[in-house]
Chains A and B, each alone.
Chain A
Amino acid sequence: MSLQGVDPIRALEQRAKAVRKHVLTMISHAQVGHPGGSLSCVDLLVALYIAVLLIDPLQPSWSERDQLILSKGHAATALYATLAERGFIPLEWLATFGQINSPLQVHPDRNKVPGVDASTGALGQGLSIGLGVSLAASLDRRDSRVFVLLGDGELQEGQIWEAAMACSHYRVDNLVAIVDSNQVQLMGPVSAVMGIQPLPAKFESFGWNVLEIDGHQFPQILTATDAAKSCRSKPTVIIARTVKGKGCSFMENKSEWHGRAPTGDELCQALLELDRD
């Protein structure tokens, strides 16, 4: 954070507010996208890209960089808006989201967007990719870290647990999984669609170091990502309790906003709310 004299946490909050506005505007203009699960992980992504990841927007493919794999690829708008705020892509790109010939696909394509580390969108695949990145870093004796952002509904995919087993088997400590635990998926509450609890105990039994935080509190996010560094010889998962649709009163905790785009009027209301805060 370069803004001298500004409280760093306050600066992150301001940045997150800007990202939330981008997310809602992109989805409303495109009339496609996933507002609920994008808004729930904005604070996590902003914390990572602004304050945690060792990255260089001028060298998006820098081999020593930290990486983030957005396994829940449907939250692409949150990733794009964060990358734009961080300087990886021009802000003007955001208006093209989901349009034909745009680099900003509804699910992220790493070959089209600087700063996107993996192409994702088919749920359940990101943790495995993260493990591959982690193993390669160890082979090459690089200190870089890899973060994998997972949805909680996504944890219903069997591949996640294959990967969870393998991360623990290979004792990777340069990998951190973060679960955006907003507790709502397309068809309703995660607990009703297919329960995944007790999540901390599941990960612990798979050999993981488990941290639980409020995923909208920047001090907690930063403390957890830092604490993960000191855990050796096992992977860390940060279970971040979040609110689906966070920051938009009429979307919060509502499954119908998983994949619905706000109308122009709804967008106005949402932007006004964000400005009021």
Chain B
Amino acid sequence: MTAIRDTFGTALVELGGKNDQVVVLDADLGSSTRAVLFAKAFPQRFFQMGIAEQNMMGVAAGLALSGKIPFVTSFATFVTKRACDQVAISIAYPNLNVKIIGAYTGLFSGHTGATHQAIEDISIMRGIPNIVVIDPADAEEMRQAVPAIADYQGPVYLRETRDQWPDIFGTNYRFAIGKATTVVEGQDASIIACGVLTSESVQAAALLAKQGIKAQVINMSTIKPIDRQAVVTAARQTGTIITAENHSIFGGLGSAVAEVLVEERPCWMSRVGIPDVFGESGSNQELIEKYGLDARHIAEVVMRTIKKGR
């Protein structure tokens, strides 16, 4: 297991070595986001912008206008909410090639509490035209996502989980933007997850298997554009869908999946996510249990949803 932010930092340095158009901007959180690794490796291409996220977004837009590939780094809550209009108008509207990195995602913010937790960032970014939204499941997916978003032409929002989480993928995995991956096979229900809740969902599937329920787990790391075909196929094959995300139940992965289902193949569905409340300080384990994002709760929701359909 590797802290996903550490993998982000080393992947960014590796990318910087291969592509001299990559530049990195920081709003005085580089030691937390690990952008500091890039700063040490490529000081000429690292721009410390101070605690001023709105200006940082505009500067990134200007760098992108001149052919650079800016990675704008800060906490997810600040890059999506504090600088929302700058992201929308300076970056997304002209469709500029800026990569927005939101660290400390969902409830997992190193005990810092509601002011530093990002529970609606996916919802906000998903609502802005042109922006691709990605929440990698583990360190390997993050390692591959960093060069993949640099190769993609256009604005991207990449969620960067702070801590260590169980590995899902090996080095033979191939991440592709917009492509879902089945990580556990099963025909009784489908758990569609993103970010580190994919690993919780894998554990949930193991708990369910003990009770004779075979749930498949689909990693939907790209929330926008969502892999519609994967959602429809899961609905057709299992008839029951549960989404799981480290994000509010409003506007994130659950909403994106529900939109596809309602239009293409309605079926019984439940959403696991943060209910309509702000978070609080606490350890990841305490938070994941209190807010119902843990494997056991996901398994319970799967069983409840299967029963509803009977």
- Give chain A's interface residues, CB within 8 Å of chain B: 63, 109-111, 117-122, 124-137, 139-140, 158-159, 162-163, 165-166, 169-170
CB-based contact B61/A122 at 8 Å: no
Q: Which residues of A contact B65 (CB under 8 A)?
A: 117-118, 129, 132-133, 136
CB-based contact B54/A132 at 8 Å: no
When chains A and B are docked, how far (Å) is the Cα of A120 from the Cα of B50? 24
Q: Name the contact of A128 in the complex, choosing from B62, B66, B67, B93 (C-beta under 8 A).
A: B62
Majority-rule SS of B interface residues = helix
**Known: A136-B67, A139-B44. Contact between A158 and B62, CB under 8 A?**
no
Q: At the interface, yes or no: B253 with Cβ under 8 Å from chain A?
A: no
CB-based contact A128/B45 at 8 Å: no
Q: Which residues of A contact B66 (CB under 8 A)?
A: 63, 132-133, 136-137, 140
Residue of B nearest to A138 (CB): B44
Q: Which residues of A contact B56 (CB under 8 A)?
A: 128
Q: Name the contact of B62 in the complex, choosing from A124, A129, A140, A169 (C-beta under 8 A).
A: A129
Contact stretch, chosen from B84-92, B148-156, B222-230: B84-92
CB-based contact A128/B86 at 8 Å: yes
Q: How far is the CB of A98 from chain B (nearest CB, A)?
A: 17
Known: A129-B62, A136-B67; 10 extra A-B contacts, CB below 8 A, are A119-B93, A128-B56, A129-B58, A131-B59, A133-B65, A134-B62, A159-B54, A162-B50, A162-B55, A163-B58
Q: Which residues of A contact B52 (CB under 8 A)?
A: 162, 165-166
**Known: A117-B65, A119-B94, A165-B52. Contact between A128 and B57, CB under 8 A?**
yes
When chains A and B are docked, how far (Å) is the Cα of A61 from the Cα of B241? 49
**Known: A63-B67, A136-B63, A140-B66. Contact between A122 and B85, CB under 8 A?**
yes
Mask of B22-57 contacts with A, CB within 8 angstroms, 1/0? 010000000000000000000011010110101111
Q: Name the contact of A132 in the complex, choosing from B44, B59, B85, B95 (C-beta under 8 A).
A: B59
**Known: A128-B54, A158-B54. Contact between A111 and B95, CB under 8 A?**
yes
Q: At the interface, yes or no: B64 with Cβ under 8 Å from chain A?
A: yes
- Give chain B's interface residues, CB within 8 Å of chain A: 23, 44-45, 47, 49-50, 52, 54-68, 70, 85-86, 89-90, 93-95
Q: Which residues of B contact A136 (CB under 8 A)?
A: 62-63, 65-68
When chains A and B are docked, how far (Å) is the Cα of A130 from the Cα of B65? 10
Residue of B nearest to A116 (CB): B94
Residue of A nearest to B98 (CB): A132
Q: Which residues of B contact A129 (CB under 8 A)?
A: 58-59, 61-62, 65, 90
Q: Which residues of A contact B61 (CB under 8 A)?
A: 118, 125, 128-129, 132
When chains A and B are docked, how far (Å) is the Cα of A134 from the Cα of B62? 8
Residue of B nearest to A158 (CB): B54
What are 29 of the A-B contact pairs (CB < 8 Å)?
A: A120-B89, A122-B89, A122-B90, A125-B54, A125-B61, A125-B85, A127-B58, A128-B54, A128-B55, A128-B58, A128-B86, A129-B61, A129-B62, A129-B90, A131-B59, A133-B62, A133-B66, A135-B47, A136-B63, A136-B67, A137-B66, A139-B45, A159-B54, A159-B55, A162-B52, A165-B50, A166-B52, A169-B50, A170-B47
CB-based contact B86/A159 at 8 Å: yes
Q: How far is the CB of B118 from chain A (nearest CB, A)?
A: 21
Residue of B nearest to A134 (CB): B62
Q: Which residues of B contact A109 (CB under 8 A)?
A: 93-94
Residue of A nearest to B86 (CB): A125
Interface centre among A63, A134, A135 (most CB of B within 10 A): A135
Q: How far is the CB of B303 from chain A (nearest CB, A)?
A: 48
Q: How far is the CB of B97 from chain A (nearest CB, A)?
A: 12
CB-based contact A132/B63 at 8 Å: yes
When chains A and B are docked, how far (Å) is the Cα of A158 from the Cα of B60? 18
Residue of A nearest to B44 (CB): A139
Q: Name the contact of B49 in the complex, choosing from A122, A140, A166 (C-beta under 8 A).
A: A166
Q: How far is the CB of B28 from chain A (nearest CB, A)?
A: 12
**Known: A132-B60, A132-B65. Contact between A166 and B55, CB under 8 A?**
yes
When chains A and B are docked, how far (Å) is the Cα of A40 from the Cα of B60? 30
Q: Name the contact of B55 in the complex, choosing from A63, A118, A163 (C-beta under 8 A).
A: A163
When chains A and B are docked, how far (Å) is the Cα of A269 from the Cα of B57? 44
When chains A and B are docked, how far (Å) is the Cα of A131 from the Cα of B68? 13
Q: Which residues of A contact B95 (CB under 8 A)?
A: 111
Q: Which residues of B contact A158 (CB under 8 A)?
A: 54
Q: How far is the CB of A127 from chain B (nearest CB, A)?
A: 7
Q: Which residues of A contact B50 (CB under 8 A)?
A: 162, 165-166, 169
Interface centre among B50, B56, B61 (most CB of A within 10 A): B61
* 6 pairs of A and B residues whose beta carbons are closest in the complex: A132-B62, A128-B58, A136-B66, A162-B55, A162-B52, A132-B59
CB-based contact B58/A132 at 8 Å: yes
Residue of B nearest to A117 (CB): B65
Q: Which residues of A contact B89 (CB under 8 A)?
A: 119-122, 125
Q: Name the contact of A125 in the complex, choosing from B47, B49, B58, B64 (C-beta under 8 A).
A: B58
Residue of A nearest to B94 (CB): A119
